[in-house]
Structure 1
Amino acid sequence: MAELLNPVILSVLVLVALSLSRVNVVIALLLAAAVGGVAGGLSLEETFSVLIDGLGGQGETALSYILLGTLAVMVARSGLTRKLIRRVMPLLRGPRAVVLFAIAGLACFSQNLVPVHIAFIPILIPPLLAAFDRMKIDRRGVAVALTFGLKAPYLIVPLGFGLIFQGIIVDAMAENGMEISLGQIPLAMAIPVGAMGVGLAIAVLVTYRKDREYTNPQPLTDDAANPLGALDAGDADLKWRRGDYAVLIGLAVTLALQLVYGSLVMAALAGVVVIFVLGGERWTDGDPIVDRGVAMMGTIAFIMLVASGYASVLTETGAVEDLVASTSDWIGDSRLLTAVIMMLVGLVVTMGIGTSFGTVPVLAAFFVPLAAAVGFSPLATAALIGAAGAIGDAGAPASDSTLGPTSGLNADGQHHHIWDTCVPTFLHYNVLLFAGGVLAAMVL
């Protein structure tokens, strides 16, 4: 019973309850942080002091999102979006399942082949809403498909973000006395990722296969006042102009600098400046462009800042360590029970913090000795740590794996972040990731 009163559990329960009640995510995070801090022994004043001090933990990520939003607006204002959609539109005339699987496949490239993470969503998805509405596609299915592409690749492919995530697992295990090579991580994560694939298939072929009509379907016309709007299917103006080349070069510079320097802020800023310098946009249009970029991605950026402060509060109380450590007192020698408890702890911690990358080192410090004590192999331990770190990310209100899809699908205000993104992704991925992590631990 004492474990149920752990500040992390109380805080996450408050966060989930408020989010499901359609309370704004920022307000829910602040209230949950207050509950976690006070329950963990901090005063209310100390809690918010720690939260404010911790806002900078995701400062680079938040700034990169704002710059990516600005870059996305530049792309949308150019003719590139029209050309891209003209190529994609014929592909959206087939079965809806094919469309959703194709979107999941395209999203996979954003983690490894072209590591831009969620940056492609505000560029590609809003103009496609008209086609989705015409096909009566349930946007919850699109959200599940996008989240699969944002998560599964980094769990199993050691390139791009996958190289970072899997490297964190290897380093965290080594620091706690268990060696495993980077090349073994994909094998360890094969079963959990396979479970995610099953979840994607269920969502596409069963759960969201029926028609869904929206109150205000997007028209198939080009709205000059909304550069992110849908495009007229009969518009044949596909000629390349100087501005299109400038934007294309800007995107190439962004990608190249990100790969070379690993800084999304530096890369996105350089891409924006290149577009201005080459005449893709006029300097005098900078204010409305940036305003649109902030409007598109500012909410996500601010949520990530508050989530960083929230994580700082949970860390300051020491409740995360207490929660993980207390589980070893009553698990005993049961490998199955150990695997189940480890996955449950990972779910609670990651749902609160909202990042699988940041959760892995915290979990590994306690999971590695516990796994070694009950006889888990390095492969099994890596599977548990990787799956437990990722399990809460899909359904977490403050995760970019859910905020990203919402940013594109809610361009017209008809897609709710919690009920249309977080709940569907949680049900289709986290339940099966839980089972996949436990299964992998028992057979590896």
Structure 2
Amino acid sequence: MNAVIIAVLVMLILSLMRVNVVLALVAGSIIGGLTGGLSFEATISSFTEGLGAGATIALSYALLGGFAVAISKTGIPQLLVSAILRIVKKDGESDRAGLGKVLIVLILLTMAIFSQNLIPIHIAFIPLLVPPVLHILNLLKVDRRLVASVLTFGLTAPYILLPYGYGFIFQEIIAIQMKAAGLAIDMADIPKAMALPVLGLVVGLLIAVFFSYRKPREYEDRQTDMFEEKVQVKKRNIYFTIAALIGTLIVQIPTQSMVAGAVTGIAILYITGALKWKEADGLINEGMRMMAFVGFVMISANGFASVLQATGHITTLVESASAMLGDNKGMAAFIMLLVGLIVTMGIGSSFATIPIIASIFVPLSMEFGFGGMAIIALIGTAAALGDAGSPASDSTLGPTAGLGVDGQHNHIWDTCVPTFIHYNIPLIIFGWATVMMFG
């Protein structure tokens, strides 16, 4: 059996059995490497070599977590919480409670969308905004699976469709890798090709919001060490916090470095006196602890990806599938989308999946007679599949990091499974329909 399928299945099954995701990735890597013909030593070597690729990402998230906690100490999140509480009222029984629920969901959805295209801070806003509003979510009995679904939608749909911020990077990678594989395209065609697949994500979001998770769900109102301390909000600190956010963007956008952006933001907060120098060590440690799980999973996922590539079975998987298809274009498109789902579920990154699959999918798709727009939709959808629902994806790790600070939100069953069902299923349906429409 193909090593890629076995490795991903082992990782997913262990994760569903509530084995730590990092351990599941390591186990999947070892079994996949051995199945793919690598020796134990070669498997460990490939896994270790791949770890370095995730170090920058892990450091970025740790520093962004520190920046988020630093901002929280200026009292800005408390302003948001106080405003919502005035609408909801403390007993949570007001007839305006529904308005409060809608308001929270819209704020989080808007921030998630902005974090990809307009203010490219990615998941850094989650530890800043989500933990402070957990108390209100508990009062309103909001199902956290709903919030996880909303956040994951905002973290995925915008970059797939809109060519700004992370969306520009995603679409640029598609264009570059397709050209390298022998098919030059116009980047302006990518949003057109991805519009219908993104509509599938919208359908999944609507189902999650209005059907799957609309019923109340009880949570204990637990206090956490983080964000329980009341902070006096000073007007000058609000201005300095805004300056820190702007400074972060000014540095991050041209450098494409979340590390440089986070360091800039933290530095501005301390230089301006919005935060005390003596608090620096404690705040950074708090942020790192909060985002440590995300960082370790991302590092492990890069090792996992390295082993899969070393086996050579990704290419074998596609070739084996295409050999069974004959001239059936519809089945060929469906199988290639499934391959993208399997690869991205294991690696956890749609961005990293594109170079792996484009070199194989472009010539194979051209051989089947697909046109340029169809191939764009095929590669874009295949790469995006699995980003929602993968235990190793930052699009699921981010929501869990915010919603799970009080220990009442499970990464696999409360984030990954709901987002997999509501987004990957409609995405594969709408993506396949797009490929056949343009084909």
Q: Which bin holds the TM-score, normalised by the shorter protein? A: over 0.9
Aligned match for 2:98, one of 83, 94, 99: 94
Aligned match for 1:240, one of 215, 235, 240: 235
Q: Give, in whole Å, the separation in 2 of the partners of 1:86 and 1:109.
A: 23
Match of residue 56 from structure 1: 52
Report the count of equivalent residues: 429
Match of residue 351 from structure 2: 357
Q: Give, in whole Å, the separation in 2 of the partners of 1:263 and 1:97.
A: 34
Aligned match for 1:11, one of 4, 7, 12: 7
Q: Give, in whole Å, the separation in 2 of the partners of 1:141 and 1:180.
A: 38
Q: Give, in whole Å, the separation in 2 of the partners of 1:143 and 1:295.
A: 20
| Conserved 8 A contact 1:402-1:422 | yes
CA positional deviation for 1:436: 0.9
Q: Give, in whole Å, the separation in 2 of the partners of 1:426 and 1:384.
A: 19
Q: Give, in whole Å, the separation in 1 of the partners of 2:172 and 2:284.
A: 35
Q: Give, in whole Å, the separation in 2 of the partners of 1:105 and 1:80.
A: 17
Aligned match for 1:337, one of 324, 331, 340: 331
SS at match of 1:182: coil
Note the 1:304-323 alignment, pairs <5 A.
304-323=298-317
Aligned partner of 1:145: which letter? V
Give the 3 Å change call, closer, same or farther, for CA 89–107 of structure 1 in structure 2.
farther
Note the 1:143-292 alignment, pairs <5 A.
143-214=148-219, 216-218=220-222, 226-229=225-228, 238-241=233-236, 243-292=237-286
Q: Give, in whole Å, the separation in 2 of the partners of 1:248 and 1:139.
A: 29
Deviations 1:71-125 (A, max 9, x none): 1111111121222333444566435456435532331111001111101000000
Q: Give, in whole Å, the separation in 2 of the partners of 1:38 and 1:83.
A: 54
Deviations 1:225-244 (A, max 9, x none): x342497xxx9x65414x44
Q: Give, in whole Å, the separation in 2 of the partners of 1:393 and 1:285.
A: 36
Q: Give, in whole Å, the separation in 2 of the partners of 1:128 and 1:407.
A: 14
Range that drifts further, 363-372 or 394-403: 363-372
Aligned partner of 1:124: which letter? L
Q: Give, in whole Å, the separation in 2 of the partners of 1:91 and 1:374.
A: 57
Q: Give, in whole Å, the separation in 1 of the partners of 2:31 and 2:139.
A: 45
Q: Can you give the 5+ residue segments of structure 1 that lack an aligned partner in the other structure?
A: none
Aligned partner of 2:420: which letter? F
Match of residue 35 from structure 2: 39
Give the 3 Å change call, closer, same or farther, for CA 67–218 of structure 1 in structure 2.
same
Aligned match for 1:372, one of 366, 369, 378: 366
CA positional deviation for 1:178: 1.8
Q: Give, in whole Å, the separation in 2 of the partners of 1:190 and 1:108.
A: 16
Aligned match for 2:341, one of 339, 347, 350: 347
Match of residue 419 from structure 2: 425
Match of residue 85 from structure 1: 81
Aligned match for 1:130, one of 135, 143, 146: 135
Q: Percent identity, please.
A: 47
TM-score (norm 1): 0.93
Aligned partner of 2:123: which letter? I
| Conserved 8 A contact 2:74-2:233 | no
Match of residue 65 from structure 2: 69
Range that drifts further, 65-74 or 98-107: 98-107
| Conserved 8 A contact 1:350-1:393 | yes
Q: Give, in whole Å, the separation in 1 of the partners of 2:274 and 2:39.
A: 53
CA positional deviation for 1:285: 2.0
Q: Give, in whole Å, the separation in 1 of the partners of 2:246 and 2:226.
A: 21
Match of residue 397 from structure 1: 391
SS at match of 1:289: helix
Q: Give, in whole Å, the separation in 2 of the partners of 1:179 and 1:71.
A: 40
Range that drifts further, 101-110 or 29-38: 101-110
Range that drifts further, 409-418 or 285-294: 285-294
Deviations 1:186-232 (A, max 9, x none): 11001110000000000000000001001x2247xxx8xx342497x
CA positional deviation for 1:47: 1.2
TM-score (norm 2): 0.94
Give the 3 Å change call, closer, same or farther, for CA 176–90 of structure 1 in structure 2.
farther
RMSD: 1.8
Does 2:409 correspond to 1:415? yes
Match of residue 110 from structure 2: 105
Range that drifts further, 325-334 or 345-354: 325-334
CA positional deviation for 1:15: 0.5
| Conserved 8 A contact 1:333-1:374 | yes
Q: Can you give the 5+ residue segments of structure 2 that lack an aligned partner in the other structure?
A: 89-96
| Conserved 8 A contact 2:111-2:125 | no
Q: Give, in whole Å, the separation in 1 of the partners of 2:8 and 2:106.
A: 32
SS at match of 1:23: coil
